[in-house]
Amino acid sequence: MRRAGPEKGRPGGAQAKGPTVEKVEFCPLTPPAGGGERLTSIRSFEKVPVTLSAELGKTQLKVRDLIKLEQGSLIKLDKLADESVVLLANEVPLAYGEVVVINDRFGVRITAFISDSEQKD
């Protein structure tokens, strides 16, 4: 990286007040000697953690209604009880599923994966 030098003054010869601003010029990148290693397999990513979550539904509340919530309050969501839930991977929709109970814990049985055309960018 090389600094090109500070910009000189303003039109009419007045000097700018405040921080000095300098233009930056980056040196071109060169590959490492020996070519370096490339990722050639999905196995390189196998240990990357992914957070999975299931979205039961959504709703919108006004702040005044949110403030009134207390223990025991009921919140109506936008989905019916028998509708599919959305399974998210790092907050990105991945699949649809149904809520099940596995040894006294909630789980999700995947019923369909979300296609690329259904994904929102």
Convert the pLDDT of each residue in 82-93 to its tens digit: 899 999 999 999
- Residue 59's pLDDT band (cuts 50, 70, 90): very high
Q: Count up the domains in the chain and report the number.
A: 1
* Rounded distance between C-alpha atoms, residue 75 and residue 56, angstroms: 12
DSSP lists the bridge partners of residue 55 as 86
In a domain, 94, yes or no: yes
In a domain, 17, yes or no: no
In a domain, 78, yes or no: yes
Residue 44 and residue 38 in contact, taking contact as beta carbons nearer than 8 Å: no
- Give the pLDDT of residue 42: 83
In a domain, 14, yes or no: no
- Residue 64's pLDDT band (cuts 50, 70, 90): very high
* Rounded distance between C-alpha atoms, residue 20 and residue 8, angstroms: 10
Domain encompassing residue 70:
49-118
For residue 106, the domain's CATH number is: 2.30.330.10
DSSP lists the bridge partners of residue 96 as 86, 112
pTM of the model: 0.58
In a domain, 10, yes or no: no
In a domain, 79, yes or no: yes
* Rounded distance between C-alpha atoms, residue 24 and residue 5, angstroms: 8
